[in-house]
Structure 1
Amino acid sequence: MEQTRRRPSVAHAHALQEDAMTATDHTPDLFALSGIRGPVLRPDDEGYADEVTGFNLAARNTPDVVVGATGADDVVAAMRWAAATGTPIAVQATGHGANFPIDSGLLINTSRMTDVRIDPSRTATVGAGVKWSLLLEASAPHGLATLNGSSTDVGVVGYTLGGGLPLLGRAYGYASDLVRSFQVVTPDGTLREADADHEADLFWALRGGKGNTGVVTSLVTELLPLSRVLGGGIYCAGEHAEPLLRAYAEWAPTTPPQMCTGFSLLRLPPLPIIPEPLRGRFWARVAVAWTGDLEEGERLLAPVRAAAPVEFDTVADMDYRNADDIYQDPRDPIPARECCALLRDLGPEAVETLLAQAGPAVPDFPLLLVELRHMGGKLAGPASAEDAVCSRDAGYLLESVGVPAGPEAAAAVEAATTSLYAAMAPYGTGRTMPNLHGRPGDASDRARAWTPEAYDRLRRTKSVYDPQNLLRYGHTVAPAA
């Protein structure tokens, strides 16, 4: 794995801040900042397109300048310049959650910050650009695992800032539950250490409040004593979606927290990036990750396997390093229109409504994925310290993904997305999750990711750390008046 420079001290960062401020007092040009070691690029510069393009190709980013940060020092200098010049700030590592185009200002690309250090106390210090795959590979030789989501290609930091809904969430909770501390640069260019005892409001906001209060340069997180799971997918032809979903809705609430599952409707295009035999077909699938006794897990799955004709079944004892094989998420960048809603439960009426919207009887349904993730278990329990995660009362997450490849497809995807969530609203909590919310709308739409109390507190905290609202791209909120 790549090793970056040692984690800088706060005193060192403060010295860099003074240097950066001096530079910006004399010239507003970011190129004059000697503290920035990574590339500093404008739209006409070679390499600019590669720096600003993320995994989600639906967001076309065109910032005025992009900084390829190599460490916390670069972030400090860039943020200090932005504060001095009133330049809005965005941050990107992998760009999986790029649902909002960055059309001006400063983009800080943290993808070079890939330092990982594993501590014998079962913790890891993780740089801002680290993907879950890198952290998992570093952890596995120690018999340890991570609370990653369905794809390990996603960045650790951005995912965790939104709470993070892990593959093993019912068994272990949210990714943010395991974070012990953050190193973060706030928009005034100050490098801070935030944990439960220091900068407690900032620590609260960084665990579920997304990127509203600063740019995280690294975090310290606990790891799990786990190396293997019973994992994979049970696939039926899409025409059998109804009996499989009805059985799943009855079965899932009866399972212990070690059983982490999801039900998916997959309409997969005939493209080479889709593996055989999934390519070009409509599937109904139950994805499984079981952390308990192998034989007990197999016994618990019997009702699902008996619900409908199974075309193929990949559920088996597996090395957790192969976690990506469970949900088979795309590995190549695509344009995506994401959306989600939190559901209270999955009763017969909710099942009927979902099938009427997206089931096999709907011709030419344009969404690539409609998925239900079973929640509860540790996801419903309290966090070890106060946080901004507001989905602990949900029974299921409803998520959808469409591919808006061209104006006609984009219109069809938007119409289907709007119809699906309007129909499912009566069964929802009224809230979303910030990581999967999709394109953020106005203030009331963004507020749906939190309870009213958490939203108000997030705005108040933002007013302390970002009163100029420099961090205004993505799923951000305005500071309180």
Structure 2
Amino acid sequence: MTCNDSFPMLVSSEDAASLAAVVTGSVLLPGDSGYDDERAVFNLNHELMPAVIVVVENAADVQAAIAFAAARRRPVLVKATGHQMVGTADDAVMIATRRMNDVTIDAVGRTARVGAGAVWGEVVAAAAKDGLAPLNGSNPTVGVCGYTLGGGLSPTLGRSHGYAADHVRSLEVVTADGELRQVDAHSEPELFWAMLGGKGNFGVVTALEFDVFPVARLYGGGIYFPGERMADVLRAWTAWHPGTPETMISSFAVLRLPPLPALPEPLRGVFSVSLRFAYNGTAVDGERMIAPLRAVGPAILDTVRDMPYSEVASIHDEPTEPLPYYERGVMLREFPAQAQDRLIELVGPESDTTMWIAELRALGGAWDREPAAGNAVATRGLPYSLLGVEVGPLSQEQRLKESVAALLDGMKPWAGDRRLVNNLAPEEAADAAAVYGPERHARLAAVKRTYDPTNMFRINHNVAPAT
């Protein structure tokens, strides 16, 4: 059977049966019970239509799925939670890793070994039992593996420890040749370097081991001010945060939230601005440190408190159920007064934007320092991450994209070329050279040529093999 844009190559029931005979997990074709559940992703505006889904339970299942794909020259897509998907996966073999969600904490060695399908909420809860904490993301439902391979910008401990990718000790990876490899900085240094920051371009991770840190509590939360006070809050925060220690992480967000019952009552349907904090220190010091920002004006809601690390998801309080949205981000080289004025024009009280969230995270500190074992993370030295998020059905896709573009295009005078892979939109899949910079991209392409010469892993923000 041939393939064109209208008629994807189907997988026959006989071929599916032959694959099912050699895997422990499930093999699902379109129309099978469970197929729609497994292909569903967090963003309800994105749809995957793989030719076959392999719900794997172990590394051997992954090897079998890759061998099946290689024999039929099909691309491979890996999905844990589906927070960031590229393309629709037509003709692809989709490997669903959600069942491989084992988490083992070594309290003495301060490491975690995590299966490919684990989410951050599971790791945070397991580590907290031993007074330890990972470099987790803001949303507990995000998959550990994809987040970490994209760099991992932890809003709780990252400024003092760096990217999550910086603290990976080893990876268990199945490459395009079907080989299961134990990869670290010594065994296969080029593959290790490329995997961490290169996202899913080089193989399927079945497990990873990384450092966890002795942090049992944080002083953190959010202060929400009326949106009309945006200028005052933004200028106060911009002047304040550079003088804070690396143990203090903060961000600024402009919020236009709908009147949803899941939201705290004071924020339902309200235009507000929020300052988020995560301080790895005493509550007394944290309270003293943020006092100048509390003094900016009366707050709609103040949730900043001493908390067990197991409750850090409450700081950003992001949705944990699927919804229809569009998001895209850039990095900023600087944020001078002119940039502050422009941001206020774009999303402030006098703007006509409908954007749900415009978030500016202040970076620096350990995020700028190279780890002992280098990796492909491209955004060191860029002091801010700017993210725009719009929510609405697929029928409004053009409006959602234009809304986010208005923000990011408006901030272009201060934007850097290099970007955080985890904040790219699906249509930016062709921009890998710009995202990584020419030297880093050339090195990634060389590694790709070695480990995935046919570009099997291409349904992503793709690094093509060097020619």
With the length of structure 2 as denominator, give the TM-score of the two structures: 0.94
In the alignment, the residues of structure 2 paired with residue 68 and residue 117 of structure 1 have an alpha-carbon distance, to the nearest angstrom, of 22
8 Å contact 2:432–2:441 — kept in the other structure?
no
Deviation per CA, 1:352-374: give whole Å up to 9, x if none.
111111111112x2221100011
Matched, 1:154 2:142: yes
- For structure 1, the residue ranges without an aligned partner over 5 or more in a row are 1-26
- Measure the CA separation in 2 of the matches of 1:460 and 1:372: 34
8 A Cα contact 1:437 1:449, kept in partner: no
Residue 202 of structure 1: how far off its partner (Å): 0.7
Distance 2:175 2:223 in 1: 45
Mapped to 2, the partners of 1:68 and 1:341 lie a distance apart of: 34
User: Aligned runs of 1:367-382 on 2, under 5 Å?
Assistant: 367-382=355-370
1:104 and 2:91 correspond? yes
C-alpha distance after superposition, 1:248-268 (max 9, x if no partner): 111111111111011001111
- The aligned residue for residue 185 of structure 2 is 196
In the TM superposition, what are the counterparts of 1:126-275 in structure 2 within 5 Å?
126-167=114-155, 168-275=157-264
Aligned pairs for 1:36-51 (under 5 A) are: 36-51=23-38
* Residue matched to 1:412: 399
Partner Cα separation in structure 2 for residue 91 and residue 390 of structure 1: 23
Q: Which residue is equivalent to 1:356?
A: 345
Taking the aligned partners of 2:434 and 2:98, their CA distance within structure 1 comes to 29
Q: Is 232-241 or 298-307 further displaced after alignment?
A: 298-307
Q: 188-197 or 423-432: which moved more?
A: 423-432
The superposition leaves residues 167-212 of structure 1 with CA deviations (integer Å, 9 ceiling, x where unpaired) of 2211211111110000000111111011010111110011111000
The 2-side partners of 1:98 and 1:467 are apart by 22
Which of these residues, 448, 451, 454, is aligned with residue 468 of structure 1?
454
Structure 2 partner of 1:59: 46
Contact kept? 1:337, 1:402, Cα under 8 Å? yes
Cα distance 1:307–1:448, how it changes in 2: closer, same or farther (>3 A)? farther
> Are the equivalent residues in 1 in contact too, given 2:66–2:176 (CA < 8 A)?
yes
- Amino acid of the structure 2 residue aligned with 1:143: G
Distance 1:429 1:175 in 2: 21
Q: Distance in 1 between matches of 2:115 and 2:394?
A: 36
Task: Give how far 1:138 is off.
Answer: 1.1
Decide which moves more: 252-261 or 264-273: 264-273
Partners of 1:131 and 1:448 lie apart in 2 by 30
Task: Please tell me the residue identity of whatever aligns with 1:333.
Answer: P
Distance in 2 of aligned mates of 1:374 and 1:182? 29
Alpha-carbon separation, structure 2, partners of 1:366 and 1:447: 32
Q: Distance in 2 between matches of 1:308 and 1:52?
A: 47
Counterpart among 105, 110, 122 of residue 118 in structure 1: 105
Cα deviation 1:312-353 (Å, max 9, x = unaligned): 211010011001100011111012211111111221111111
| Local SS of the residue matching 2:267 | coil
Contact 2:266–2:301 (Cα < 8 Å) also in 1: no
How big is each residue's C-alpha offset from its partner over 1:48-75, in whole Å with a ceiling of 9 and x where there is no partner?
0000001122210000000001111100
Residues paired across the two proteins, number: 452
8 Å CA contact 2:86, 2:459 repeated in 1: no
Structure 2 gaps, min length 5: 1-12
2:65 matched residue in structure 1: 78
Residue matched to 1:295:
284
Counterparts of 1:470 and 1:433 in 2: how far apart (Å)?
23
Matches of 1:442 and 1:266 in 2, distance apart?
Answer: 28
Amino acid at match of 1:259: M
Alpha-carbon distance in 2 for matches of 1:293, 1:223 = 20
1:99 and 1:416 map into 2 onto residues whose CA distance is: 20
- Structure 2 partner of 1:456: 442
Supply the distance in 2 between the matched residues of 1:218 and 1:288 (Cα, whole angstroms). Answer: 31
Maintained 8 Å contact 2:266/2:300: no
Partner of 1:10: none
CA deviations 1:118-160 (Å, max 9, x no partner) are 1121111100001111111111111101110111211111100
Q: Which amino acid aligns with 1:283?
A: S
Comparing 225-234 and 265-274, the one that deviates more: 265-274
- The answer as to 2:76 corresponding to 1:89 is yes
Report deviation, 1:28.
7.8
Q: Is the 8 A contact 1:99 1:337 kept in 2?
A: no
Q: Does 1:395 align with 2:383?
A: yes
Between the aligned partners of 1:344 and 1:474, the Cα distance in structure 2 is 26
TM-score normalized by structure 1?
Answer: 0.92
